[in-house]
Amino acid sequence: MRVRRWWRDGMGLFGGVLTLVCTGCATLPFTAPAVSAAPAADSRAPLPEDDDITQLIAQFRSDLNRTKARDLARTQTLAPAPQSARSRDREFADRARALFTPLSGAALHMPVVGVSKFDLDDSWHAPRDGGARVHKGIDIFASRGTPVVAVADGIVSYIGDQHLGGHCVWLTTENGTSFYYAHLDRWAAGMYEGMEVRSGDLLGYVGNTGNAIHTPSHLHFAINQNDEMVNPYPILTKAVPVQRAHMHTELGGGSYGTR
């Protein structure tokens, strides 16, 4: 009886402890390990590729603004200073004077080497072809092959053959006056249309080409001023005689000079 009572009491105590342990485990708070939640994706945040493009656009804008600023500064630097009404009128008057003032001939060179004013003959408006036309120039006679030179600074505006003039050259100056050389035996080597020449530069050589084939060698020389042919004789009587032509020499870069 004593043993049975001990067993009953021991089992009851064990059951109470077991019940207490089970109940306590069930009621003790349970803390789950913390899990960091991933932040919500921001749809406005640029992707790496988008970020690169954004930086490029910003750089392009910076470069563009810098280029515009530099161009503006250059334009302002190159822009001509404003002119007063008086200075502008004076500039226009100088241009008109250079264009319309009659050619004096003071600065011209004689077109044929070795010819002086005493060798000239005024054949202006002399009858030609039995009176069917008049001579609009003068003939300067010289031996075949005598050098012919530019009477002024200008541009070779024409090189070619004509029915009457044969081998011809037109020399045009800055103020619009043009000089006509005809019956040349040949042109100067290396000469071309658009070539800039200086007064005294070689243009060609005296000959008798064209309708002068049956006449002694000579240069037909004429002047066109303000779209009208004028008598070159009184002008050439004031021209500077030339004893030696300037020969063209080819320089670096394909340009030409004189010596």
39-78 per-position pLDDT tens digit: 444 444 444 444 454 555 555 555 555 555 666 665 555 5
Q: What is the pLDDT of residue 105?
A: 47
Kindly report the CA angle at 11 between 8 and 13, in degrees rounded to 5? 105
Cα distances (Å, whole numbers) of residue 42 to 37, 45, 54, 252, 258: 15, 6, 17, 68, 78
Three-state DSSP at 95 gives helix
Q: Which two tokens stand for residue 189?
A: 């080597």
Nearest CA among 179, 175, 178 for reference residue 96: 175
**Owner of token pair 């000089």:** 179
β-pair partners for 138: 221
Total residues found in the chain within this entry: 259
pLDDT values of the chain reduced to their tens digit, one per residue, 259 residues: 665 565 556 555 555 555 544 555 444 444 444 544 444 444 444 444 444 545 555 555 555 555 556 666 655 555 555 667 777 667 666 655 554 454 544 479 999 999 999 999 998 888 887 777 888 899 999 999 999 999 999 999 999 999 999 999 999 998 889 999 999 999 999 999 999 999 999 999 999 999 999 999 999 999 999 888 999 999 999 999 999 998 865 433 333 444 4
Residue 103 has a pLDDT of 54
Q: Which two tokens stand for residue 79?
A: 């822009």
Q: Where are the domains of the chain?
A: 117-253
User: What's residue 131's pLDDT?
Assistant: 74
Residues 6 or more apart whose Cβ sits within 8 Å of residue 134: 125, 126, 127, 128
Candidates 3.40.50.1110, 3.30.70.360, 2.70.70.10, 3.40.250.10; CATH matching 117-253 = 2.70.70.10
- Provide the pairing of β-strand 228-230 with 178-187: unpaired
